[in-house]
């Protein structure tokens, strides 16, 4: 079995909006749980608008997609919103095939995602 580097999540603030920069494979098990926990932490801290940057993610599976859907639903129920940043590639293709790009607005750049909140 191939060893993959651990997933890393960096949280940066752009004004009042947290931007989670995800690096590494977002797959079943610890990585998707790690993302869910990081998203829960920023919402518990009071964030209602969140951006998740997936440009550092080479692969995403159904559990990673599920973590994004769950937090998007939670934010929407609380009057907030989730925006994704994901350029062309395998991850964008997975988001398109699952039609997630229709449910959660997805942008090529952080600046475009942040501007969408304005």
Number of domains observed in the structure of the chain: 1
Count of Cβ atoms closer than 10 Å to residue 24 Cβ: 17
- In a domain, residue 3? The reply is no
CA distances from 106 to 42, 45, 53, 88 (A): 20, 24, 10, 11
Phi and psi of 87, rounded to 5°?
-80, 180
Domain span at residue 33 reads 8-116
Asked if 100 and 69 count as a contact pair (C-beta separation under 8 A), the reply is yes
Q: Give Cα 3 distance to the centre of its chain.
A: 23
pTM for the structure as a whole: 0.94
Per-residue pLDDT of the chain (118 residues; tens, 9 = 90+): 556 678 999 999 999 999 999 999 999 999 999 999 999 999 999 999 999 999 999 999 999 999 999 999 999 999 999 999 999 999 999 999 999 999 999 999 999 999 999 7
Residue 2 belongs to some domain of the structure: no
Q: Is the Cβ–Cβ distance between 13 and 49 less than 8 Å?
A: no
């Amino acid at each position: 079995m191939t060893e993959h580097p651990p997933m890393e999540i960096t949280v940066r603030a752009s004004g009042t909006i947290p931007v989670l920069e995800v690096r590494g494979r977002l797959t079943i098990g610890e990585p998707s749980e790690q993302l869910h926990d990081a998203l829960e932490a920023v919402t518990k801290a009071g964030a209602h608008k969140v951006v998740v940057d997936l440009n550092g993610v080479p692969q995403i599976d159904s559990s990673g997609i599920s973590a994004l859907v769950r937090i998007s639903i939670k934010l929407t129920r609380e009057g907030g919103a989730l925006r994704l940043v994901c350029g062309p590639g395998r991850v964008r293709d997975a988001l398109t095939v699952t039609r997630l790009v229709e449910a959660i607005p997805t942008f090529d750049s952080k600046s475009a995602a942040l501007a969408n909140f304005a």
